[in-house]
Each structure stands twice: as C-alpha cells, then as structure tokens.
Amino acid sequence: MASTLPVTAPTAGTATPQIRPGAAPDFEAIYATAGGDASRIPWSDGIPNPALVTWLDTVGPSLVRCGARVAVVGCGLGEDAREVIRRGYEVTAFDLSPTAVDWARALDPENASCYHCANVTALPPRWVHRFDLVVEIHTIQSVPPEQRAGIMGGIARLVGTNGHLLVICRGCETPAGLEDGPPWPLTERELIDLGQSNGLAIDTVHAFDDHETPPQRRIRAQFRRVARDQCVAEPKC
C-alpha cells in the first residue's frame, strides 16, 4: 500500500512531467511535486523490494552479521532501508533528493537519524570503504548509460575491505540506448564490467522475471571487494 506524508497538497495535472524519454529524471522535482502522496512516485509501492527480502532471508546472514554496517544507496522513501533496519543492521540510507530524505524520515521517525541527503558521486569522506554491505536498488538504472560509471564508482567506494555489494536492477539482453530510458536496463555483462572496473569481483548474478504485471526482467548481482593485487577477471584466475 502506498504511504502518505501530510505535507503540501498534490499539484493538479502534474503527473511526473519530470520524466522524459532520453533524459535523466529530475528526482527532486518528482518528490517535491508529489506533495506527500506516495502513489505519485512511480517506483514506490510502500514495500521492500521482494528480491532484497529473499536475499536477506537466504544469503545475507551468511555474509553480514547482525549489527553490521549497511549503506542503502538512492533510498527514496526508505522502504528497503526500513526492512534492513528492522533486521538489526546499522543502516546509513541516503538519497540525492532532500524531499525524499525528509519523507523517509517522516515515515520512520524512530530511525530518522539513519537517513541522509547525499550524492553518491560526491560522498562524505567518512563513508568511504566504511560498509560491510552496500544495497543498491534501481539507482544505476535511473541514470543515462554514460553516467553509470560515476554512479558505480561512488557505490564501490562505499564498500569496505571485506565488504559486499548487492545490486538489483532491470535487465536486458542488448545494451540500452539513451532513447530507451528512463529507466535504462543493464545487461549482465554491463553490470559485471561496471563492478570489476571499480575493484569489485562478481560472486553471483541471477536474472529473473519479477512479480509485476506484466513481469519485468531483473538482475540481482552480488559483488565483493577484492584486494588491489587480486585478479578480478573472468573466468577463474
């Protein structure tokens, strides 16, 4: 169910005009003009991402202990961050949009201090290599392909020495062009290459059709930081 925040009234007749083909969305404008009505945020459905929940149920406990430091990138209204907090991790969730961050805090007042306004391409120095787990859902795909390297570079810098990165994004078979988005789905190869070129080795990658109607092709990929002198090339080295 969509959640609401009692701020300003929705602006009539402005159904996400900030989303145009071939251009990066103006995220702050989308959140601000929603006027506290989550049903006007196209990617928000009020629940944590099901593929994240499955991963946290099955794989997560073997990689990150309770209380571990977890970063949630591009957290939006905080559905995924709230789920990770609920499971006992120490969460730092952040988004570029100040309105989204205020909204996420209002939806989770007990944990308001977990939500921050920050740009993943210009991280606070104290976050660099700080996290045991980084959760990235639908941020990489939300920017044009030529901006992905910058976004992934920042995401990778969050990952600690023995840390892991979980990515969930839309998947495709052939690389998307600028006019195909937003969002811009990634091929498995594109995603793996983005990670490897930022010092991350791929542990698992899994393509699946999600629960939406009609189903959307998604990729769930798990990376880990490798020491500089370790080879990250495929196949095994």
Ligand X SMILES: C[S@@+](CC[C@H](N)C(=O)[O-])C[C@H]1O[C@@H](n2cnc3c(N)ncnc32)[C@H](O)[C@@H]1O
Binding site for ligand X (CB under 6 A): 27, 43-44, 74-76, 95-97, 100, 119-121, 137-139, 142, 151
Q: In 3-state terms, what secondary structure has residue 48?
A: coil
Q: Nearest distance from residue 230's CB to ligand X, in Å?
A: 28
The residue at minimum Cβ distance from ligand X is: 74
Q: Using CA atoms, how far apart are residues 100 and 95, in angstroms rounded to an integer?
A: 7
Cβ-based nearer residue to ligand X, 103 or 232: 103
Q: Nearest distance from residue 176's CB to ligand X, in Å?
A: 15
Beta sheet of 90-95, edge-to-edge order? 115-117, 90-95, 69-73, 131-137, 159-170, 217-225, 200-209
Cβ-based nearer residue to ligand X, 168 or 201: 168
DSSP alpha helices (H): ranges in 108-186? 148-158
Q: Nearest distance from residue 141's CB to ligand X, in Å?
A: 7
Q: Using CA atoms, how far apart are residues 162 and 141, in angstroms rounded to an integer?
A: 26
Q: Nearest distance from residue 139's CB to ligand X, in Å?
A: 4
Cβ-based nearer residue to ligand X, 60 or 201: 60
